[in-house]
Every structure is written in structure tokens, then in C-alpha cells.
Structure 1
Amino acid sequence: MKKLLILGVLLFGFISNAQNVLSPSKNILLTFSLEANGKPTYMVFYKDKPVVTRSNLGLVLKDGTDFTSSFTLENTVSNTFDETWQPVLGEQSSIKNHYNELKVELIQSTSKKKLNIIFKVYDEGIAFRYEFPKQPNLNYFIITDEKTEFNLTGNHKTFWIPGDFSSNEYIYEETLLSEIDTDKVNRNNGIAFQNIKERFRIQSPVQMKTSEGLYINIFEAAVVNYPVMHLDVDVSKYKFTSILAPNPLGDKAYLQAPAVTPWRTIMVSNDARDIVSSKMILNLNEPSKLDDTSWIKPMKYVGVWWEMHVGKSTWDYAGSQNAQTQNNNELVASGKHGATTENTKRYIDFAAKHGFDGVLVEGWNVGWEDWFGNWKEDVFDFTTPYPDFDLKAVNDYAKSKGIKMIMHHETSASVANYERHFDRAMNLMKQYGYSAVKTGYVGKIIPRGEYHDGQTMVNHFNYVVKRMADNKLMVNSHESSRPTGYHRTYPNYIAAEAARGTEFSAWSIGNPPMHETILPFTRLLGGPMDYTPGIFEIKMSAYDKTKKEQVHTTLAKQLALYVTMYSPLQMAADLPENYEKHLDAFQFIKDVPVDWQESKYLEAEPGDYLTVARKDKNSEKWFLGAITDENERNTEIKLDFLSPNKKYKAIIYQDGADADWQNNPKSYVIKTIQVTNKSKIKLHLAKGGGTAISFEPIN
């Protein structure tokens, strides 16, 4: 620590107004300073290593105010905060929130306007945000640019996706920072509406690893009334600069003082497990605004969904954009519609038989025939079912079986249309006892010219969560901007997609085996993901012999994902008939909880492997998931997370000796052994494989 402080003094000794903040563990140092021209800058150190070298801070307003220089320091306020709070649903039953804080209050000599910068330094990283205090000469204002910089120390290995303001459903690239280049990204990746405009622009979060083995993650938290942050890359200087999604006028954000921006975050550790297990993003959000959360429940569900992706059925009733009509302009049934009353009852029966909580039905409502790709505004009304879907009969049947129905609202990205119908749609949900909704935003946004990641859409996504909370309804958003911990503030935001999910494996080049080892270091830092695991029929040739698409995992890895990919809303995504063929393996999906008392990240390396153990919130059972990338892996796991002086029955679901994600993905073995907290288990993970284990105390 002494070396660290000496280094800080040497670097900043000749700069006036330098301010230092240490993390509670004293391993991380944040230094803020004003340069001679009044330019605000910061640096970050981990132990004796610089992580972010001197980097500029600031914003530009549309009225000409340049909040990047000419500042003087008016005041500083330091604070220490330490609390433990309990999430409604989560990986842990309690979360520690401990940081040291510095608030610097600045005034600009040229404009006489004030700007505050607030820094929080945690043991796992630092966070900062801009604050605009209420003041006579700053009321309503427009952000045109944010100039936050992240100057890195070297050519780090980087996991990134292209900077597309309209989609985050990309495969992760693994390159050196200097090799970031969106021109080299495979555009034939299944994304229908791509919007990559800059060659050297990527999305946050971005995960990095230095040649010295330091793990660095740049992200943001509490994105409220502000656009999502992307990053422009200077590949020669190893520098990121924030860039915000604009609206059709080119403006970034409309604010009124007092106001704050989201937190910009930098996590750093020499242990990858510290990054993936961090709750810093969640802690940076406001506490829950809901007084009553008793209605927010974890759910495991099945649904009429995957059968459309594999081509067994369709979302639409009539089958084509040029669907024939008959009397009174009624659609003619194609015979392939999936969301029928009888088919839905089949899923309800399956859910009830196997102890699931809910059933999702997509394609139940009129409008699916001709909207995709046509940029239509009035597509769905969210209340009118197709002729072969009896809302009352379906919901009466579900209720008789003890099953909750999950509503589906595909907005066709016509946000104005959804908001016009929103109250009627929620009333319908309440009328029939729906507890949750899956929203979708496929396509280019209407109002036209807006992006998924712009301020308008961020506000819309948050508005939906708030209004659903008013009606005691839970939300699972798809094709939304990626979460940044907002589910702490509104815990009914139970899950989101907001990344490349399992569906891409049915009809595109799919997700490579390393994909699921990267998502916990990136997308999942902001909130639980509805990844829709549990695919047992791996190869799509099972449905059509001409198809070459497949899920890029083994069956055993699909089981392990229920532990490694956290979500309190988990889908058993495959078809009931495919589970009936493998009921022994399906048992793990039935047994695994989705809400946890404790989580232990035992092994972690982005792009390579992940091993997680979690304890059920409501029992003494533990569950373990281990996954690998395209390389087979042998490892030995200590079971010291188990309670002492207890014996456990361990049921191990593992890859078969001949398993391989490409050549033999459905080869698996199930065995049962007795273990204690002093035991060790040797695991063999096949290429693209995994292992899932349940630990049940023996009375």
C-alpha cells in the first residue's frame, strides 16, 4: 500500500486539488484532480498497479456550455457507507454495500455553472457519476456529448460486441484491444435489424484481462432517464471514450436540474471470481420503491415458444403476409398455428405434472401475419386472441391445474402503439390472473428514428416496469436495452433477455461454446437473464433433415446453465416430448431452484470456464453447475461450501465419455455418490460440455 501511495504522490504531486479515495480494503485507489486549465481528470490503481491512467471527465451541453475544462474546486465531501440489505429475489439472501465516497463540487469560471462529480470506491472497483445541482443559470438543458474517458495501460485481451444502438444480440469477439474492428464481425449472424455505424465502437459492458493477469470490467449502473453508454475505441492509444445513443435530432439527453447521470463503473481484481460475483452494479441503484413485494415470486415455466423457432408451428394464424381471407375479411387458418387452446392445454398438463409454476404462450393474439420487416405502427392491440385461442377456457384450465399463465406482448417495436393500449392490456392480464408478462421489441423503433438504447426507449422500458408494479405484475423484457441493476429499485423487473439468447441456435450460426462463459462477466452483471436453457434435442436436423443448425453445447451443459446463468425466471425451453425421452436428465431441471440463499463462484475464466455452487433459499440443498468452452476440461472441486458434519447425496449429471457438442451432444451419465464438506469431486467436461450436481442432505 505504501508503494501505491508513493506512486500517487509522484504522479499528482504537482497538480493542484488532487483528491484520493481508498477502497475499504485499501487495495483500490481513486485519484481525482484538476489540471492547470481546470480540466477534471481521474486515475485508478489496483494494489501497486495502474489500471486507468489519467483520463478526462466532462460533458457538452447544447447551449454551448463545455463542461470539460475551466473548473475550480469549490468543496469536497467525503463519506463512508456500510449496509447489508435483503433483495426480494437474488443470488444471495443478503448483500453487503460498503464503499468510501468522495463528492467534488466544481464551478466553471467561464459560465459560472456548477457541476458535481461523485465517486464511490468499493473493494471490487470504482464508480462515478455527474450531478447537476439546482442553480439559477441551469434549469432545462440538453446533453449533446459525454466525454468520459477510460485510458488503459496496455493492449489487453478484450471480450466485446459491436456498438449497435439497436441490438445487443451479438456473438462476443475475443481479441486484443488493438484488434477491435467491427468491420471484421460476421454480419450473417441471424440479427435481422443491424445498425453498426462505426468501425471502432463497442458496447459496454466490456470485459478485459491484462497480460499480468488483472481482470478489468467497464460498465454502467442505474441508467435512468439517460441513454445507454457505448464506447468509442482508440485502438492505438488503448483508450475508450463514452458515446451515447442519439435521438432523431442528434440530441443525447434532455434533463432538468437537479439531475444525475448513470454511474460509470470500473471493476478490477486479480481474481476473475471477484468480477463475476460482484454486486456493485446492483448496489449503485436506489433501494426498492415497492412497499409490498409479497406478490413477486420466482418462477420456472414452459411454453409455446421453441416449437415456433424450430419450425414445428408458427406464431401467425394464417401463415403468410399474403394470407387469404374469407367472409368478413377473416383470416384463413394455415393449420400450423402453435397458440391453440388444445396445444396450450397440453403444455399446462406438462407443467402441472412436473411441478412447474407457469406457462408462456406466444402468438396468441391477432396481428402476426404481416408486420415483420414492414415497420408498421398499429399491429397488435394486446387484447384480441386468434379464433383458435380461447382466453377464458385456457386460463380456467390453468387455474384448475394450479398453473399461472405468462402473458406475451410483442410490441413489434411500435412503442407508441403499446403505450396507447397499455392499460387495457394490463386489465386483461388482471382479469385472467396472469402474474407476469414477457415483452418483446423486435424491429426498428416507432417513433421512427429512435434507438433501443436512446433516452426515449430507456424511459419506456422503465415506465413499463413501474406501471406493471402499480398493477402487481412482473416483467421479463426481450429486445430491450441491457439492464443496469434497476431490478433493485423495481424488483418486479424479474428478468430480461438483452443479449444473444438460445433462440439463435435454432435458425442461425448460433452461439459458440464460449458464449455462456462470457455472459456472466458482461450481460449478467446488470441483472438476471432469460436465456431459455434446457434444450435436449440439440440438432435441428431432428425436425428437418436438411437443417445443419444446432445448439452448441452438450445436453449436460444445458443442465448446468440453470446454475451458472442466474435468473429467478427460468424456462425449460424445449418441447415436452423431448423431455419425455430423457426424464432422468429432466429431473435436474425439476429439482433446481431459481432463488438462492447463497452463491459461491468456485472457478471462473471469461471465455473458458465457470463453476458455480448455490444454496437453495428455502432448504439446505446445494446445486452446482460447471461449464466449459469448445475445449474439454478436467477439474477437481472442493465441496467445502457444504455444511460441516453433514452427509449429502450428490446426484451428478455429467457428459458421457464420448460426449462432444458437435458429434455426440446427447451423451450423458447420471451417478449418485455420498459426500461431505471434506470431499472433492473430479469433473470431466467434454468439448462444449458441462456438469450439473444436486446435493441433498441425508437425514
Structure 2
Amino acid sequence: MKKYITIALVLLAFSVKAQTVQSPSKELTLDFKLTENGRPSYTLTYKTKPVISKSLLGIYLKGDSDLATNFKIDSIGNFTFNERWKPVLGEQSSIENHYNQMTIALSQTTTKRRVNIVFKVYDEGMAFRYEFPKQPNLNYFIISDEKSEFNLIGNHKAFWIPGDFDSQEYTYNETLLSEVDTEKLDLNNGIGLKRIFGKYGVQSPLMMKTSDGLYLNIFEAAVVNYPVMHLDLDTKTFALTSHLVPNAIGDKAYLQASCVTPWRTVMVSDDAREIVSSKMILNLNEPSKITDTSWIKPMKYVGVWWEMHVGKSTWDYAGSQNAQNTESKELIASGKHGATTENTKRYIDFAAKHGFDGVLVEGWNVGWEDWFGNWKEDVFDFTTPYPDYNLAEINAYAKSKGVKMIMHHETSGSVANYERHLDRALELMKKYDYPAAKSGYVGRIIPRGEFHDGQTMVNHFNFVARRFADYRMMVNSHESSRPTGYHRTYPNYIAAEAARGNEFNAWSNGNPPMHETILPFTRLLGGPMDYTPGIFEIKMSHYDKTKKEQVHTTLAKQLALYVTMYSPLQMAADLPENYEKYPDAFQFIKDVASDWQESKYLEAEPGDYLTVARKDKKSENWFLGAVTDENARNTEIKLDFLSPNKKYKAIIYQDGKTAHWEKNPINYEIKTMTVTSKTRLKLVLAAGGGTAVSFVPIN
């Protein structure tokens, strides 16, 4: 690891002049200044174009006091940092972390309290946070609000979902900022729990495009011991202000100095590829706290999961808590339970046959009959299987086949109950050699009155990752707060859902074709997503002729998602029998890597299309994924990312001539050709379609 650091410090008793820090390329300029009443403010410029106009900063404390006004500058520190570091798992084998930093040390003339505002300016954006040094006049304190402003220059096109304290599982809206209005949305979208906080509230990350071709993204990084930041929008002035998620009694955060807030980030570029490929969020997190990371490994898995979503089987054993034997009080099997010993062995056989690392089983443990919607405290103990699920037998069978089992912990939102049982659940996993678990947080949170995105739950999600690390196990959270790069610090936090996943296509109005072209610009900036791609039987009428739901992609696009939607944990989500009907297409899922040496974002336009090429970390193989929205697309790709003077066998999985996400989604074709780094590859994507390509060197 190489680090280059330059430091300069200027002591100033007072300053009314603008203090400036630029990105290493000098294309991005941030100016800081105190207003006449001592209020911190900043502006941001990109290549002489204003991006953020004068925006105020400040923290408000419970009890009518503030850390927002009457400040003077005590000192200004300037700092240049440049390193390359190696992630345990990732899109790149090494990542550059290069920025210029300016630290403004402030003191409040009325209270003598001290606050530092730290700015880091990268080539693709800037970040700032508040730091509270240890001091006599500020020890324990309660934040009632944070007013960090992002005052935009114009009425930009925005890709947004409504601000919601409990869910991010929305489809994206593509409108001008002036047209944002959560009350005009059709919210009959399959989300079981909503807590939308305002008519003009939106979630971060917020992706935007200006009328003159700049791409902007407002987000946050390293959310630790603090609530999630949403945004309040003024649809007339286009000003955005931070909106923190409250706890059960309305407070935002309980802190003790010395401490820091998360980073607030603004990314900006005239090339969309620089936004979608940025590692700024990851860089703003602390390095790994796990010394030995040899046990943290990528996984491809199958599982007893999709069959419940399509109605073939159920999570629960009996169907109802009332389905009991009147004398013994034992549950009576409904005959539809998916997590049986026999069915699980079928998935283990399939995984072993096709080289998958693991098998996930949902619905294996008692309690599923009586929890959904009941806001019930004690539902699952995470250790007791149903009568038809033999833990010891299944795990011995999996071991004999060289397959790892993936545990499932559905908390039912009762996080207090989960924390009480967590160590016993982890001991059970240790006993049977489970390397990872998928956790779930469906429903309202217990402790009652807390939200999924509040400080209490942020601390819980991070605690679970740390506790799993103590047991040398990986965790993949669903229905959690969206990641903000914490997987750099705890790389065993291998993936998360925290957005509208593929499952919504099975039983709701689904995810529109543009959905997967937006997620890489928003949710995936904070960390890998367990999107569960690979659905081959697109239409749900395959299972029930009365059903009209379907996946809003072609089959070829489902393959491409393994490349465009980064995750070191990838599920082949469909049923084994569906893959056996299309073995030639299934081959790509078997071949594609999930941990990468290098990634190249070749084409990118949020809401429209994305083309990505990635090199396998363990071989010289490359894989390419290209996806489009509801519009068909023809494009030509330079293959100059391939090694020169080498020939490659390219296997191209593409939409067929009559393919269409709605009318003919399973129409695909596969062709093979020899290519080199000088080849220009023509791609033809159907409406809602995609292309997946594997490149294997020819020796």
C-alpha cells in the first residue's frame, strides 16, 4: 500500500474570506465561507460550472440550542492523501483513494463549543461531515435535527423514490425536480410497510442529470451510530435539505463527544460512467477491522425461495396456527411446506451437479404460521426446525456433496428478540459449518415505534455484521437500511437487498424495464446488492394460468444482470427444473464469476442503458453484460479491454429476433465467435432486453 500525504495548517482568529479546496484534477472546486451571523456555508463548481449554490450547514440540539450559528474560524487544515488499497471482495482488485482535504475548526462565540467541518474533494465528487471534538462544554448530547443543504442550480431531471423511514422497495420515478410529488404516486406496488414522511420528501441516493449534460448524485457514506439521511425538496427553488429519521420519541441521534456524523456526498461528472463506477462511498469508510479475511469468500447459490414467491410451496408448515391436533397441540402439515428434508436434498443435488457453492433454505424453522402483520415480539428462536426438516441429516448430506448450506434468519422485525437469540443462532451455524446467513426484517420494528432507517436499527445492522465476524461468518441482510460502504470496514457484510428486488415481479406490478438501469446509479453505489437474478420462466401464468404478473425483462437480460448488478453473492434464483429446460442459457450462470480483478463501465445512461465488462479475479476470462430499458437498442462495443495479441472465444447470449420483455421474453439465441482486442462487437438488445458475453482466451 502506498500513501502520499501533504499537510498545511493556517491559524486564523477570524476569517470572512472564502476558503478553497480543489480536487486532484482541479476540475472540482469547493469554497467554504461563514455568513455574517457565523453560519457555515459552501458552494461547489465543476469545470467552471456552478453545481451547488450557497448552501448552509448546521446541527441542532435538543433543548433549543444549535451548532449552526455564531461560529468563528479557529484554524484551517489542508491535507492531500493518495493510496491504493485492496478490497477483500470487489469490482476491482485494488482501489485508488485520492483526495484533497480541508478541515475547518470552528468555535461558537456564544457557548465556546467546538465543531470541525471536514471536506474531502475527489475527482468525481466531494464529501463533508461534522466532527465533535472532546470538550468541556459538549459531552453527551441529543441531535434534534441536521440542516445540511444542497442548493441545486436548476430544475434537473431526477431519478427518485419517495422518502420512507421503513422501505426503499419502490420503483423509480423519472421526472423533473419541480414534478416531485409523493401524493401523486400509485402506491399499490406490493410494499407491505410504508412510512412516507412528506409530499416532497425523497430518498438518497438521488441521481440527477442537468439540462447541459452534467450528472449529479447526492448520497452519504459511513453511516455509523446515526440515522439514515433522506432529503426534503423545495420544488420551486430546487433546494435539498437533509432529513434525518427519528426514533420512537422524535429524537434523531444520541451522541457523545468525541464523535462524527456520516459523510454527506455530492458526485458530479459530465460522464455518467464516472458516477456509476465511483468508489468514493467505499473510500470514505474505515479500512477493514477484520485482520484475517481468508474465510470471506464469494458464493454462488441456489435455494428454496422462489418456489414460495410463485406459489408452488409455502414458508409455513401448517398454513395456520389453528391447524393443530386437538390433543397433542402439534401443528398439522399442510402438504405445501417447501423447506422439507427431501426438497432440500433435491436442491443440494442440483447445486453439486452444476458447481454452485451453497444452498439457501427459507421457512426451515418454526414460527411462520403466526407473525406477519401481528407486530409480535417472540416469533422465531432461530434454532428450532419444523418436524419435516432434519438439520443434522441435511447438513451431513450437503457436506458429502461438497455444498455449503446458507442459513436464513427472518427476524419478523423483532430485532430485540433476534439480538437475544443471536449467539445461540450463531452457535448452531458453527455446529453445522454454515459460512453465511441471509437475514430478513419484514414488518414493523420492535422495539415498537422505531423505524428501519433510524439510529437504533442502523446500530443493529452494523452490530450483527460485527457479531457474525466474531464467528467468522458472512451476512446478507434484506429489508435493512441501504448500505453506505460499511462492507469495507466489515467485509463479511457480503451483500444486502435494501431496494426493490427481483421478487416483486412474482406477485406485484413488478419492476419496470428501466429499473435495473437505475439501481447501479443509486442503491449499488453503497454496496453489493442481492438482487436474485436468473429467472428463466418469465411469466407467472406458467404456474397459474389466472396470473398476469411477470418479470419485466427478457431471459437474456436476466443473464446480463449477473455482470451489471455487482455482488460477490449471486443467486441462481429460479427453480432447478426451469434451468434444466434451458441448459444452454444456464451455462452462462454457471460460468460467470462473482469476484473481479477489473471492471470497465463501457456505456452508461441512467434510466436507459448500461454496459459493463469485468475480468475474473482468478483467471484471464472476461464477462460482459449489457441491459436496456423498455426501448430496443443497437450498439457497438470496442473490445480493447481484452489483452492485446490474444484471441478469445466469445460466447454471446443475446435476445432473439422476436424477443420482447412483454410479448416474447424467452426468445434468445447463442452464438460463438473468435475476437481480439481490436474487434468491435455489435450488440442487439430487444425492448427490456440484454446481452451477456463470456470471453475465454484461446491458448
Structure-2-length-normalised TM-score? 0.98
User: What is the match of residue 186 of structure 1?
Assistant: 186
Quote the offset at 1:184 in angstroms. 1.4
Relative distance call for 1:326 and 1:680 in structure 2 (3 A) is: farther
Taking the aligned partners of 2:15 and 2:385, their CA distance within structure 1 comes to 67
User: What is the match of residue 640 of structure 2?
Assistant: 640
Q: Deviations over 1:637-686 (max 9, x none)?
A: 00000000000000000000000000000000000000000000111100
AA of the residue aligned to 2:681: I
Q: Contact between 2:165 and 2:197, CA under 8 Å: does it hold in 1?
A: no
SS at match of 1:120: strand
Quote the offset at 1:26 in angstroms. 0.5
Judge which range, 320-329 or 344-353, deviates more. Answer: 320-329
Q: Deviations over 1:30-73 (max 9, x none)?
A: 11000111110000000010000000001101133211111000
AA of the residue aligned to 2:146: E
User: What is the match of residue 441 of structure 1?
Assistant: 441
User: What is the match of residue 498 of structure 1?
Assistant: 498
SS at match of 2:53: strand
SS at match of 1:142: strand
Taking the aligned partners of 1:337 and 1:472, their CA distance within structure 2 comes to 31
Quote the offset at 1:15 in angstroms. 8.3
AA of the residue aligned to 1:477: S
Q: Contact between 1:365 and 1:384, CA under 8 Å: does it hold in 2?
A: yes
User: What is the match of residue 391 of structure 1?
Assistant: 391
Judge which range, 55-64 or 529-538, deviates more. Answer: 55-64
AA of the residue aligned to 2:535: I
Quote the offset at 1:321 in angstroms. 4.6
User: What is the match of residue 420 of structure 2?
Assistant: 420
Quote the offset at 1:18 in angstroms. 1.4
Q: Contact between 1:70 and 1:109, CA under 8 Å: does it hold in 2?
A: yes
Give yes or no for the alignment of 1:39 onto 2:39: yes
User: What is the match of residue 568 of structure 1?
Assistant: 568
Which runs of 5 or more residues in structure 1 are unaligned?
1-13
User: What is the match of residue 654 of structure 1?
Assistant: 654
Q: Deviations over 1:441-479 (max 9, x none)?
A: 000000000000000000000000000000000000000
AA of the residue aligned to 1:188: N
SS at match of 1:450: coil
Taking the aligned partners of 1:93 and 1:539, their CA distance within structure 2 comes to 38
Taking the aligned partners of 1:359 and 1:520, their CA distance within structure 2 comes to 26
| Superposition map of 1:539-550 within 5 A | 539-550=539-550
Taking the aligned partners of 1:433 and 1:611, their CA distance within structure 2 comes to 38
Taking the aligned partners of 2:167 and 2:15, their CA distance within structure 1 comes to 42
Taking the aligned partners of 2:268 and 2:670, their CA distance within structure 1 comes to 38
User: What is the match of residue 322 of structure 1?
Assistant: 322
Quote the offset at 1:110 in angstroms. 1.1
AA of the residue aligned to 1:139: N
| Superposition map of 1:225-374 within 5 A | 225-374=225-374
User: What is the match of residue 473 of structure 1?
Assistant: 473
AA of the residue aligned to 1:27: E
AA of the residue aligned to 1:231: L
Quote the offset at 1:169 in angstroms. 0.4
AA of the residue aligned to 2:204: S
User: What is the match of residue 59 of structure 1?
Assistant: 59
SS at match of 2:488: coil
Taking the aligned partners of 1:566 and 1:16, their CA distance within structure 2 comes to 46
User: What is the match of residue 95 of structure 1?
Assistant: 95
Q: Contact between 1:437 and 1:476, CA under 8 Å: does it hold in 2?
A: yes
Taking the aligned partners of 1:626 and 1:243, their CA distance within structure 2 comes to 36
AA of the residue aligned to 1:287: P
AA of the residue aligned to 2:192: A
Q: Deviations over 1:176-219 (max 9, x none)?
A: 00101001121100001111131110110000000000000000
Taking the aligned partners of 2:46 and 2:355, their CA distance within structure 1 comes to 48
SS at match of 2:553: coil
| Superposition map of 1:613-632 within 5 A | 613-632=613-632
Quote the offset at 1:396 in angstroms. 0.2
Taking the aligned partners of 1:514 and 1:46, their CA distance within structure 2 comes to 28
Q: Contact between 1:17 and 1:73, CA under 8 Å: does it hold in 2?
A: no
AA of the residue aligned to 1:175: T
User: What is the match of residue 670 of structure 2?
Assistant: 670
SS at match of 1:573: coil
Q: Deviations over 1:372-406 (max 9, x none)?
A: 01110100000000000000000000000000000
Taking the aligned partners of 1:648 and 1:48, their CA distance within structure 2 comes to 44
AA of the residue aligned to 1:550: Q
Taking the aligned partners of 1:241 and 1:323, their CA distance within structure 2 comes to 52
User: What is the match of residue 459 of structure 1?
Assistant: 459
User: What is the match of residue 10 of structure 1?
Assistant: none
Give yes or no for the alignment of 1:210 onto 2:200: no
Taking the aligned partners of 1:179 and 1:97, their CA distance within structure 2 comes to 37
AA of the residue aligned to 1:357: D
Q: Deviations over 1:492-519 (max 9, x none)?
A: 0000000000000000000000000000
Q: Contact between 1:649 and 1:675, CA under 8 Å: does it hold in 2?
A: yes
Q: Contact between 2:15 and 2:72, CA under 8 Å: does it hold in 1?
A: no
AA of the residue aligned to 1:46: Y
Quote the offset at 1:326 in angstroms. 4.1
Q: Contact between 1:70 and 1:108, CA under 8 Å: does it hold in 2?
A: yes
Taking the aligned partners of 1:186 and 1:333, their CA distance within structure 2 comes to 38
SS at match of 1:328: coil
SS at match of 1:231: strand
AA of the residue aligned to 1:142: I
Q: Contact between 1:15 and 1:35, CA under 8 Å: does it hold in 2?
A: no
SS at match of 1:345: helix
Alpha-carbon RMSD across the aligned residues, in angstroms, is 0.9
Q: Contact between 2:538 and 2:555, CA under 8 Å: does it hold in 1?
A: yes
User: What is the match of residue 585 of structure 2?
Assistant: 585
User: What is the match of residue 157 of structure 2?
Assistant: 157
SS at match of 2:465: helix
Q: Deviations over 1:392-447 (max 9, x none)?
A: 00000000000000000000000000001010000000000100000000000000
Taking the aligned partners of 2:320 and 2:188, their CA distance within structure 1 comes to 24
Quote the offset at 1:292 in angstroms. 0.4
User: What is the match of residue 698 of structure 1?
Assistant: 698
Taking the aligned partners of 1:137 and 1:63, their CA distance within structure 2 comes to 15
User: What is the match of residue 555 of structure 2?
Assistant: 555
Q: Deviations over 1:277-330 (max 9, x none)?
A: 000000000000001000000000000000000000000000135333344211
User: What is the match of residue 432 of structure 1?
Assistant: 432
Relative distance call for 1:162 and 1:325 in structure 2 (3 A) is: farther
Quote the offset at 1:16 in angstroms. 1.2
| Superposition map of 1:80-229 within 5 A | 80-229=80-229
Quote the offset at 1:150 in angstroms. 0.4
User: What is the match of residue 689 of structure 1?
Assistant: 689
AA of the residue aligned to 1:265: T
Give yes or no for the alignment of 1:518 onto 2:518: yes
User: What is the match of residue 8 of structure 1?
Assistant: none
AA of the residue aligned to 1:539: K
Taking the aligned partners of 2:489 and 2:85, their CA distance within structure 1 comes to 12
AA of the residue aligned to 1:613: A
Percent identity of equivalent pairs: 76
Taking the aligned partners of 1:227 and 1:98, their CA distance within structure 2 comes to 27
Q: How many residues align?
A: 686
AA of the residue aligned to 1:597: Q
AA of the residue aligned to 2:615: K
User: Stretches of 4+ moved more than 3 A in 1?
Assistant: 324-327
Q: Deviations over 1:574-595 (max 9, x none)?
A: 0000000000000000000000
Taking the aligned partners of 1:326 and 1:647, their CA distance within structure 2 comes to 71
Q: Contact between 2:21 and 2:100, CA under 8 Å: does it hold in 1?
A: yes
Judge which range, 17-26 or 89-98, deviates more. Answer: 17-26
Q: Contact between 1:65 and 1:111, CA under 8 Å: does it hold in 2?
A: no
